[in-house]
Amino acid sequence: MEFDNSWQGVTVPGDGTSYFEKHRNVPFDVASTRYSAINAWWLGEMSRLIYRHGATRKLPLDRRQILAEVGFIEREMFDVDGTQGAIIESAPGSIHPPMGILAFRGSEEFRDWLTNINSVPVPWEGPGLVHAGFRRALNLVWEEIEGLLTTMTVPLFYTGHSLGAALATIAAARKPPRATYTFGGPRVGDAHFANTFEMRQLYRIVNNRDVVATLPPPPIFRHAGEQHYVSSGGAMLVNPSLAIVDTDRLRKDATYDDQRLLIQAPQFIADHAPVNYVAHMERLVIRAAQM
């Protein structure tokens, strides 16, 4: 998977021509509740693929067909007033053990960005406060999702990118899965909300200068879960200090070409592209295997 710093990579992430290329013969590690490089890759691709709509002449395979090629079935798609996503299951007889994935789609339309902007902290059914727009967006589909999840007896994993990451985080607070992996997610709630994840497996993956991961600003909003920060050199740092992150963000990103500034998105936006998260996850699987 090549890095894509174009505006298209950020604004139409579902238009990729290939998915699940490098490690499709390595099964999902269903037994692992700890951070897993291969699970991060699978879920990163799920978070990118969920943006895809129907097939076109240029993109002949739809989302269900792509999933079928790698041993998964889309059980249910939900779409209510801009909140979108799917429940996905491993197919019988595939390389994957029985499992389910709840994948949320991130921001695509202007109304989704309005959801992101509505950052008033409000109560929810647990400790602390959460972002009003994110809570409202999840509430639109939560009754349907919870009903489906309740019928599933297989291990569950949640994932999402951007707004989808925020929705996956609140969903994990309401009905904890085996593990949650988010990509380029914003802050979702206050410190009391974040503390609900001290004993839960939430892995928050951040790509270098991704601006969305810095929003909404503190002090009211705090990040939750275990941070896995992709450095400017492509290394994965676990829960690095703010000083380390701030220093690293000043370094030149090896994936970004400063000579093409006029035809690519600024790095703080390009680093938010789902394809760039997947490209890093793909390479980090290889690094993990070599350790």
Average pLDDT for 31-49? 97
User: For the CA atoms of the chain, what is the radius of gyration?
Assistant: 18
118: pLDDT confidence band, cut at 50, 70 and 90?
low
Whether the pLDDT of residue 260 is over 70: the answer is: no
Give the dihedral of Cα atoms 108, 278, 265, 262; nearest 10 deg. -140
User: Which residues contact residue 146 at a Cβ distance below 8 angstroms, ignoring those fewer than 6 apart?
Assistant: 174, 175
199: pLDDT confidence band, cut at 50, 70 and 90?
confident
pLDDT single digits (tens) 119-157: 889 999 999 999 999 999 999 999 999 999 999 999 999
DSSP state of 220: T
Both tokens of residue 1?
């998977």
Phi/psi for 100 (5° steps) reads -135, 150
- How far apart CA 194 and CA 221 sit, in angstroms, is 9
Which residue is it, tokens 């579902």? 14
110: pLDDT confidence band, cut at 50, 70 and 90?
very low
User: Which residues contact residue 59 at a Cβ distance below 8 angstroms, ignoring those fewer than 6 apart?
Assistant: 15, 17, 52
Mean pLDDT of the chain: 92
Indicate the CATH number of 7-290 among 3.40.50.1820, 3.40.190.10, 3.40.640.10, 3.40.50.12780.
Answer: 3.40.50.1820
Per-residue confidence (pLDDT) for residue 53, from 0 to 100: 85
Look up residue 212 and give its amino acid.
Answer: V
Strands 83-90 and 100-104: antiparallel
DSSP string, 152-206: --S-EEEEEETHHHHHHHHHHHHS--SEEEEES----B-HHHHHTTTTS-EEEEE
> CA 58, 96, 23: angle at the middle one, nearest 5?
55
- How far apart CA 13 and CA 50 sit, in angstroms, is 9
* High-pLDDT (> 70) share of the chain, %: 94
pTM: 0.95
pLDDT single digits (tens) 57-78: 777 889 999 999 999 999 999 9
